[in-house]
């Protein structure tokens, strides 16, 4: 498990302030939700943790190791041992479910036997063992969400970042997947940072909810 700390972290895009200096501590093994309207800085925080953005000022660290500070990435995204599920899912349309999971494992030079074991076990966990040779367009919306989650989990991350992954689903499927995410996190104990603008979703998922507005935390 990994704890996350942002200390005085800020981010601008040109003249626009995306994130005022914020300080956040996230306990290892907890589910923390960043909640607020579009454009309030939630996704910016997530991408700073992931290393997809670099803070203009401040420090991003995990378990006491500094990952980025004051305009410099010290640990690149691929070395941060985290998984990310994007809002648009970003599944490879030409690959099967197995291929989507295998892609990241190959990039990490994991041996074929270990890749096969991880893929099999992860698809069992998310209930998609029977869909291993199916392509994304042949899956339902909920199944596609599960593939995106499985693709992150197969890397065995200590931290999972999720950026409004359920926003395109109807209420019934959203509630079902929220329950599944909670169950999986309880079982596997990764640290979850989850972004949403939906209050009910935030309440279902979060041990702790951090409300954001106009690039700042609201107390």
Q: Is residue 89 part of a domain?
A: no
The helix (H) or strand (E) run that includes residue 60 is strand 57-62
Quick one: 56 and 125 in the same domain? Answer: no
Distance CA 79, CA 30 (A): 22
| Number of domains observed in the structure of the chain | 2
Residues 9-31 have pLDDT tens digits of 999 999 999 999 999 999 999 99
**What tokens appear for 152 in the block?**
């992150």
Quick one: 143 and 180 in the same domain? Answer: no
Residues 121-136 have pLDDT tens digits of 999 888 899 999 999 9
Q: 75 lies in which domain range?
A: 1-81+160-219
Q: Is residue 88 part of a domain?
A: no
Residues 133-190 have pLDDT tens digits of 999 999 988 888 889 888 988 988 999 999 988 887 788 888 888 888 898 899 888 9
Q: Is residue 86 part of a domain?
A: no
Whether the pTM exceeds 0.85: the reply is: yes
Quick one: 72 and 165 in the same domain? Answer: yes
What's the pLDDT score for residue 131? Answer: 92
3-state secondary structure of 88: coil
Quick one: 101 and 196 in the same domain? Answer: no
Quick one: 173 and 68 in the same domain? Answer: yes
Quick one: 74 and 175 in the same domain? Answer: yes
Residues 177-208 have pLDDT tens digits of 888 889 889 988 899 999 999 999 999 999 99
């Amino acid at each position: 498990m990994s704890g996350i700390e942002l200390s005085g972290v800020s981010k601008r895009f040109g003249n626009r302030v995306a994130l005022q200096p914020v300080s956040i501590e996230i306990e290892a093994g907890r589910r923390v939700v960043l909640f607020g309207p579009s454009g309030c800085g939630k996704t910016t925080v997530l991408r700073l943790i992931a290393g997809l953005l670099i803070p203009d000022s401040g420090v991003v660290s995990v378990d006491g190791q500094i990952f980025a500070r004051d305009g410099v990435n010290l640990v690149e995204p691929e070395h941060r041992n985290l998984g990310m599920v994007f809002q648009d899912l970003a599944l490879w349309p030409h690959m099967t479910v197995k291929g989507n999971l295998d892609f990241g494992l190959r990039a990490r030079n994991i041996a074929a036997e270990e890749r096969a074991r991880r893929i099999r076990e992860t698809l069992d966990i998310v209930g998609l063992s029977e869909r291993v040779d199916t392509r994304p367009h042949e899956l339902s919306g909920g199944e596609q969400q599960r593939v995106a989650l499985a693709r992150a989990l197969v890397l065995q991350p200590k931290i999972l970042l999720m950026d409004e992954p359920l926003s395109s689903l109807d209420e019934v499927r959203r509630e079902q997947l929220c329950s599944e995410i909670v169950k999986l996190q309880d079982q596997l104990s990764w640290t979850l940072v989850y972004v949403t603008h939906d209050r009910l979703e935030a309440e279902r998922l979060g041990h702790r909810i951090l409300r954001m507005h106009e690039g700042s935390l609201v107390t």
